[in-house]
Structure 1
């Protein structure tokens, strides 16, 4: 019944519009397209997303939405022209359609091996076949089977009323070969995602799965391939451009790459005339990871660690494709709020983040600095990563904007954790586990064998000579925090004990301060250790730092001593697999139960660290050296890697 109604409606509309001047009909279709832009928000949002993926920051939010509206208008004008197909004749074509490059058709037809029109869902692509029929060219078109049988037959009758052959997709290869052997023209759309048997071709700087049928047909039959594009100039006026014959190179990829270069050029010039509704880049191995930063170095390093793991998952998934170019791009952006109140309000607004936010995000304009907002809405990412409660809402808004996966580290404020694809929460935050929550013993960090090796190389490049036959003790010095103070008294005792053990064992001390280390502590450390033969490496981070100095020290050290006020620094030490001694700094206000204490107690109970007073460092280091320490492999990253594998498509 529905099939009958659809086909009857199209027949009636086709008959009805034949009595209306084409310009009036197209004007009506143009207006109707603007209405349907609002009636089909999901299609509009998909087109918007594809535009953002393709053009990035080259188009503003307003320009992207304008192009999508024009796309709807163009499609409805295509529909009206399709209804005119039964009444189009030579006079109509001569009046409204210009053709450039027609002589190239005749040149290839003379070879008697057939011709392939390789085109795209661009302009009114259906009109191209009608023009070819009216011009007298024997053409065969490839069409998608429509489920309603009557409707399918009617559409194909419109397409073929002047002698064209219509072949349905599915089992078309043999029929297409026969057509080319009969020296016919075959029209093939080559711009949509391929199924099995396709290859990866770069399109708008991103690899996309692409059908190879046209190239294979050309190679098998010797048929020439002409790229053809039809452009709507204004209203019913079109221009068909027949480009130079596509060279068939040694590989299918080279020929398809050349076609997509041409297609990309046309899409850039006439963006509203390409069909942006198709998921062209679905399944692409190329991914963009966006790291949102709140300006805190510790948070940024944790986000980088999660991004690195995510990148490894993606690269592992597609390693069998042997792609030569880098397929994962990681970009960072610092989010700047207008003020403290704006930061609080955005966190609250995250509760309302939905798919409907895509193409909008205007509310964020009131809470972010102007440059920060402009950069944010231009970002495209497949995975959004942030660390810290202040960025959780921004993360979710951007994920909805880009239809991306959202990964957060630490608590999410007002936004429920279940709204995110992955939440990495440290155990000491006491969060109730959900299926999307990964509880960790430590803070995420970038310490691994590769990073430690790179750090060692950087230290050696700076001219530091550290003998391999010596025992090496690493000292990571933190500084003052909101709850803890690193005093001169404590630091004096630590340095004294370490020099004592270094003299007894003829060991090397490898020392670095941090950005938080006070001037007083820096002065103390320099007075005691600078130019000391037992300390061949002393880095004052606020004066001169070495890239990846901490990973380098961790890689070189046999034992690591670290101040305990920093969760991030202790986590890095633990991730090295070396024995770790943690000394506590002075609390500003004594509290029985704090996040810091829970974190350190948990690691001590599991045997990853030893909590020591400054007075016991000498004794504890000697015990560790007399009783060889078996490096403990910290398996959290492996577990997190497996969680990410289940999320990334």
Structure 2
């Protein structure tokens, strides 16, 4: 049966804005009447307010902290760009949990055959692949922009973006789906990707280290640590990671590192702020506590495996003149290079090809110094005496330029 409404008569008073409001309201009331009468027949499969002054951003991440921080950094740059244009942004992060490894592959298979409009109305098919919490969190949102980081969640992000006709963005090169399927790919140069219209190539890992974030993080240093204790020299931030398949950090390495740092601090009359990570071995943690726990020049010591301190790395970087960072974490090195005047790491015994390429390019661009551990004190002393020009990593500006093409 077809129901024909009487002809719709437009109101024209000469007040354009008021006429638009009144006519649109009258038209919507006609829709409302029919929807209330036949709710089971109502389906709206595209965005009615796609050009509104509000945008919703959905960030999909896996369980890796580095991936979460990179995805949220892209969301931060996106929000900053849109707010400069007078568009308000609401952002939500969902940690995706698949039911099993096979579910990841099944999701990727669906993404491969997911055309621009072929996914509409198909989100329910993901119910068997995701945990109930993740599924409900995703389907309850209608995002304008979908951001992801991590190979397992990239196919899911593509499906969700096409269901909602959203802009899709991915951090790091996706391995289970093609990069050209996304509207924007933010890929670090060590992934050796060829530049293209939808790709922006960064030096390091995108991060949240903005002046505003560092100012806020600086205020988190506990009151009892704010006093300088009479020390007038530089502040060294020590960020220790942990062992990976390509990196090991022994007690002997740690002992030599401590000797180098303490020698420099005594000579330069400096202070040190220290944090380990959840990956740091118990033997190295114990060595750090013995060496810095009662050391008068140590103004902050954080052991995350014993007590979690929010934004401890950001707080340390915000106060530091020098950052000494173990070399296994690209994210941690990128954060330091984006916020501290001088960043130093040391040469590991072995590294994967991508990691070695990252360190070499960061060193060539003067974002990073890479001495051997026994030469670390000498390098710190030389930098403190010469104060060479500072090169600060700023990948966010590159991304913001790319957003002009996408949004």
TM-score (norm 2): 0.90
Q: Distance in 2 between matches of 1:231 and 1:284?
A: 21
**C-alpha deviations, 1:316-337, integer Å up to 9, x for none?**
1116xxxxxxx21111111111
**Alignment match, 1:211:** 20
Counterparts of 1:162-201 in structure 2, within 5 Å, are 172-173=12-13, 197=17
1:375 to 125, 137, 141: 137
**Alignment match, 2:80:** 312
Kindly indicate whether residue 57 of structure 2 is the aligned counterpart of residue 289 of structure 1: yes
Q: Is the 8 A contact 1:197 1:211 kept in 2?
A: yes
Kindly indicate whether residue 78 of structure 2 is the aligned counterpart of residue 348 of structure 1: no
Q: Is the 8 A contact 1:425 1:440 kept in 2?
A: yes
**Alignment match, 2:95:** 334
Counterparts of 1:149-160 in structure 2, within 5 Å, are none
Structure 1 gaps, min length 5: 1-28, 30-75, 83-125, 130-140, 144-166, 178-195, 199-209, 216-224, 239-266, 320-326
Counterparts of 1:258-269 in structure 2, within 5 Å, are none
Distance 1:369 1:433, change over 3 A: same
**Alignment match, 2:173:** 411
Q: Is the 8 A contact 1:565 1:584 kept in 2?
A: no
Q: Distance in 2 between matches of 1:566 and 1:414?
A: 23
Distance 1:286 1:227, change over 3 A: closer
Kindly indicate whether residue 273 of structure 2 is the aligned counterpart of residue 526 of structure 1: no
More helix by share: 1
Pairs aligned (count): 404
Measure how far apart 1:361 and its partner are: 3.0
Greater Rg by CA? 1
Structure 2 gaps, min length 5: none
Tell me which of the two structures has the higher relative contact order, counting C-alpha pairs closer than 8 angstroms and 6 or more residues apart: 2
Please state whether the residue corresponding to 2:298 is helix, strand or coil: coil
Distance 1:375 1:556, change over 3 A: closer
Measure how far apart 1:644 and its partner are: 1.1
Q: Is the 8 A contact 2:152 2:176 kept in 1?
A: no
Please state whether the residue corresponding to 2:69 is helix, strand or coil: helix
Q: Distance in 1 between matches of 2:252 and 2:43?
A: 71
2:154 to 386, 392, 399: 392
Please state whether the residue corresponding to 2:147 is helix, strand or coil: strand
Q: Distance in 2 between matches of 1:408 and 1:283?
A: 23
**Alignment match, 1:441:** 203
**Alignment match, 2:265:** 502
Counterparts of 1:26-65 in structure 2, within 5 Å, are 29=1
Measure how far apart 1:503 and its partner are: 1.2
Q: Is the 8 A contact 2:232 2:270 kept in 1?
A: no
Please state whether the residue corresponding to 2:197 is helix, strand or coil: coil
Q: Is the 8 A contact 1:475 1:511 kept in 2?
A: yes
Q: Distance in 1 between matches of 2:338 and 2:330?
A: 12
Q: Distance in 1 between matches of 2:46 and 2:127?
A: 30
Q: Distance in 2 between matches of 1:227 and 1:429?
A: 52
Q: Is the 8 A contact 1:454 1:548 kept in 2?
A: no
Tell which deviates more after alignment, 508-517 or 295-304: 508-517
Q: Distance in 2 between matches of 1:383 and 1:282?
A: 11
**Alignment match, 1:511:** 274
**C-alpha deviations, 1:222-247, integer Å up to 9, x for none?**
xxx999967999xxxx9xxxxxxxxx
Measure how far apart 1:348 and its partner are: 3.2
Q: Is the 8 A contact 2:47 2:164 kept in 1?
A: no
**C-alpha deviations, 1:71-115, integer Å up to 9, x for none?**
xxxxx3x23xx4xxxxxxxxxxxxxxxxxxxxxxxxxxxxxxxxx
**Alignment match, 2:329:** 566
Please state whether the residue corresponding to 2:185 is helix, strand or coil: strand
Q: Distance in 1 between matches of 2:135 and 2:390?
A: 46
Q: Is the 8 A contact 2:321 2:340 kept in 1?
A: no
**Alignment match, 1:91:** none
Q: Is the 8 A contact 2:275 2:303 kept in 1?
A: yes
Distance 1:273 1:560, change over 3 A: same
**Alignment match, 1:609:** 368
Measure how far apart 1:448 and its partner are: 1.6
**Alignment match, 1:142:** 9
**Alignment match, 1:484:** 247
**Alignment match, 1:43:** none
Distance 1:231 1:339, change over 3 A: closer
Q: Distance in 2 between matches of 1:366 and 1:302?
A: 28
Q: Distance in 2 between matches of 1:444 and 1:574?
A: 11
**Alignment match, 2:236:** 473
Please state whether the residue corresponding to 2:225 is helix, strand or coil: coil
Measure how far apart 1:278 and its partner are: 8.5
Q: Is the 8 A contact 1:347 1:413 kept in 2?
A: no
Distance 1:529 1:269, change over 3 A: farther
**Alignment match, 1:543:** 306
Measure how far apart 1:511 and its partner are: 0.8
Please state whether the residue corresponding to 2:97 is helix, strand or coil: coil
Measure how far apart 1:213 and its partner are: 5.6
